[in-house]
Amino acid sequence: MTLPAILLSATFELFRSCGGGRRECVAYWCADRREPDVLTRVVHPIHTAFGGGYQVDDDWVMQFFVSLHQSEELVRVQIHTHPRAAGHSWIDDGYSLVPAAGFFSLVVPDFALGPVGLKRTHLVEMRTDGGWDERRPEEVFSDV
């Protein structure tokens, strides 16, 4: 999957600005439906957050899904921050935006206050049985 460096840096900036080093934050990477492996933009949802979690506004999710359909885009990756080390919690496992086979979830450590990049991030991909497989970010994302 092509992940432009500017998209990754914009996502880190977003996390730092929204989370302020004190709260988790979440975003989504989208692609054109005709080129699903080229990530084109980052979307920041309406959400609540605290030091150890976040929740996305339900009305926002509905509107986002309708807008994706109308613009012929799809959401490929969910990205969110953790306070310290990156990992996928049982809440992350059970309540993702698109719980379907092939959806990716990337967790960024230290509220994204560290260097911009995929180092120390944690990436998983959903299987057909609803479980998650750990994937190596540097093997999934290119052009970073």
Site for another protein, rule CB under 8 A: 24, 26, 30, 33, 52-56, 58-59, 61-63, 65-66, 68-69, 72-75, 80, 89, 91-92, 94-103, 126, 128-130
What is the closest distance, in whole angstroms, from the C-beta atom of residue 95 to another protein in the complex?
5
Q: Tokens 């977003």 identify what position? A: 14
Q: How many C-beta atoms lie closer than 10 Å to residue 68's C-beta?
A: 16
Q: Tokens at residue 31, please? A: 């692609």
- 111 torsion bin: left (phi>0), alpha (psi -120 to 50), beta (else): left
For another protein, which is the closer residue by CB, 5 or 33? Answer: 33
Q: Is 14 helix (H, G, I), strand (E, B) or coil?
A: helix
For another protein, which is the closer residue by CB, 5 or 50? Answer: 50
What is the closest distance, in whole angstroms, from the C-beta atom of residue 28 to another protein in the complex?
9
